């Protein structure tokens, strides 16, 4: 995918905001937002350019020092109205190296999420997009720091769009959503583990998701609430023509126990299938690997079933809503022919703080994880970037406590069942704003027997991550920011682990109303069993930023 195409996809959500800008302008100053919380509408569009001088010193295993000039242009948008809203952080950066042996680099990064009210309170259009850099190791592990070893740098892109319905027909609430998404993972070098085996890294995928739900509340008109839901998800993965399909229909009943606590139970039917084709093989039966390090698909081979479940699904749980600011939903049941757990908890005591916790369980490919993470993100946030590189690592400061888009985890091409938990907390304390996210992700891969991916079937990759950011205003003309992260990856096999950690800090001082001086420093470290040596870098930046 070329940069122009990527930029267009990333700005999709921003265009949602732009289309609604006249409505936002009319809403400004007209009182509280109808979404709740007493917040007024706002419209912030901030384009900027930056120029800086960067020194990057290798601390381990070598002692090389690289100096380069960084030139960047970007825009930050946050537009919020009564029925629409969008946030966009888009940045293009070019690094110009002085060393004749160094390569100049271009980077596009950003995140966007928007909602446009087509029919106020009933029908809206939603869109989201993501572009980010990551480090990719030979076993498929990813970490959020691309500074270490340029030959391990990779790029991730994701975008989705679709309508959302929320209306009522008498006592029946009708909700629906449909989404189409595209995802891509790019790396300049094939991923090879210590044994010399090529890892078939994810290439691209198209996702489709749809759901329609009709429900009544307890007491309207029956003593219990009733709901019927039908939906489906499909991901078409480019590698070996893999396909993940999950269709279901179910009914639910909500039995109130108190004014704030209810028992929820449901049952239904599911039809889940994961399939793929085999790789093209040479005369000796050896799978052929393309120039990009991925297996070449044999389009004439028959589709082979890797996983299939057709039958009953059920779960039982609780719903607790003591106030409009606190909500808990947790359930246990059976799906995918095994026990399943999932739930969410949100606590927003005031406009200054928010906490969110989610446990998930589902089948998809790498692209499905990206699209679902974007869709869960609220459309009112500020992206938190590395002050030295400008990279977006997944952390945002938002209004709904959903501060983390999610860890990328393993980039193996095979479909998987993903289970895990993530949490985020953010708080504003006077002039200080802080956000932290943490999580655990477990992926059990699913592959068809007789195909080149068969050895992956049943293997598990696990990822743990913690990331945080803090910013503080120092008087009216200066501010200080700091970010930190740590990722642990436990891959399938005996020597497939990796650990990455880093910290950065920056100081910004206004020189004029639009011109700001910048200084930043970062330390990054990677301990990977995919290589014989660890890597540590220290990087410093001084520069200027001009806001238009």
d(CA 431, CA 342): 36
471 or 396: which leads in pLDDT: 471
- How does pLDDT run across 424-450, given as a tens digit for each residue? 888 888 899 888 888 899 999 999 998
Q: How many domains does the chain have?
A: 1
pLDDT at 107: 84
Percentage above 70 pLDDT, the chain: 82
d(CA 81, CA 29): 11
Residues spanned by the domain of 108: 3-547
Look up the pTM and report it: 0.84
Residues near 197 by beta carbon (within 8 Å), at least 6 away in sequence: none
Burial environment of residue 278 by CB neighbours within 10 A (0 to 12, 13 to 18, 19 or more): buried
16 or 493: which leads in pLDDT: 493
d(CA 259, CA 435): 33
Mean pLDDT in residue range 42-62: 89
d(CA 381, CA 39): 14
Mean pLDDT in residue range 459-465: 89
Mean pLDDT in residue range 226-243: 96
Are the C-beta atoms of residues 128 and 160 closer than 8 Å to each other? Answer: yes
Residue 197 belongs to domain with CATH number: 2.40.170
pLDDT at 12: 47
E-state strands within 324-476: 326-335, 338-350, 353-364, 381-385, 392-398, 416-429, 432-445, 460-473
pLDDT at 150: 55
Q: In sequence order, which ranges of 20-65 are alpha helices (DSSP H)? A: 21-27
d(CA 543, CA 514): 14
Please say if the pLDDT value at position 515 is more than 90: yes
Please say if the pLDDT value at position 30 is more than 50: no
């Amino acid at each position: 995918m070329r940069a122009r195409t990527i930029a267009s996809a990333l700005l999709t959500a921003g265009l949602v905001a732009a289309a609604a800008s006249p409505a936002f302008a009319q809403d400004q100053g007209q009182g509280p937002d109808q979404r709740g919380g007493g917040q007024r509408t706002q419209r912030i569009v901030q384009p900027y350019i930056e120029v800086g001088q960067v020194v990057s010193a290798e601390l381990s295993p070598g002692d090389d020092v690289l100096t380069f000039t960084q030139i960047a242009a970007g825009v930050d948008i946050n537009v919020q109205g009564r029925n629409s809203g969008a946030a966009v952080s888009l940045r293009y950066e070019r690094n110009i190296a002085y060393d004749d042996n160094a390569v100049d680099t271009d980077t596009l990064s950003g995140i966007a999420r928007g909602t446009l009210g087509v029919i106020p309170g009933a029908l809206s259009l939603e869109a989201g997009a993501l572009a980010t850099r990551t480090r990719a190791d030979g076993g498929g592990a990813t970490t959020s720091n691309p500074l270490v070893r340029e030959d391990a740098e990779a790029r991730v892109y994701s975008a989705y769009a679709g309508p959302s319905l929320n209306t009522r027909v008498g006592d029946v609430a009708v909700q629906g959503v449909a989404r189409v998404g595209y995802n891509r993972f790019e790396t300049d070098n094939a991923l090879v583990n210590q044994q010399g085996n090529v890892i078939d890294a994810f290439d691209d995928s198209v996702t489709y998701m749809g759901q329609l739900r009709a429900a009544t509340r307890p007491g309207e008109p029956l003593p219990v609430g009733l709901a019927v839901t039908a939906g489906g998800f499909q991901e078409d993965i480019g590698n070996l023509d893999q396909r993940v399909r999950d269709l279901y229909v179910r009914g639910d009943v909500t039995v109130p126990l108190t004014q704030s606590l209810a028992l929820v139970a449901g049952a239904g039917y599911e039809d889940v299938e994961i399939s793929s084709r085999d790789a093209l093989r040479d005369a000796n039966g050896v799978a052929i690997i393309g120039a990009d390090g991925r297996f070449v698909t044999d389009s004439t081979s028959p589709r082979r079933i890797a996983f299939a479940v057709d039958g009953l699904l059920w779960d039982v749980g609780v719903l607790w809503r003591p106030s409009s600011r606190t909500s808990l939903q947790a359930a246990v049941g059976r799906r995918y022919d095994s026990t399943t757990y999932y739930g969410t908890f949100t606590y927003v005591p005031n406009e200054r703080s928010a906490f969110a916790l989610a446990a998930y369980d589902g089948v998809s490919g790498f692209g499905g994880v990206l699209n679902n993470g974007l869709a869960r993100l609220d459309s009112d946030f500020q992206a938190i970037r590395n002050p030295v590189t400008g990279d977006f690592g997944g952390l945002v400061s938002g209004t709904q406590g959903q501060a983390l888009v999610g860890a990328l985890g393993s980039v193996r091409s095979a479909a998987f069942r993903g289970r895990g938990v993530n949490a985020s907390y953010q708080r504003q304390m006077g002039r200080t704003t802080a956000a932290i996210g943490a999580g655990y992700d477990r992926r059990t891969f699913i592959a068809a027997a007789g195909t080149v991916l068969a050895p992956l079937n049943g293997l598990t990759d696990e990822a743990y991550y913690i990331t945080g950011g803090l910013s503080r205003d120092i008087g009216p003309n200066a501010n200080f920011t700091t970010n930190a992260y740590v990722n642990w990856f436990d891959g399938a096999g005996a020597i497939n682990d990796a650990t990455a950690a880093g910290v950065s800090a920056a100081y910004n001082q206004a020189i004029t109303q639009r011109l700001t001086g910048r200084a930043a420093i970062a330390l990054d470290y990677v301990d990977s069993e995919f290589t014989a040596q660890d890597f540590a870098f220290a990087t410093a930046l001084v520069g200027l930023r001009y806001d238009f």
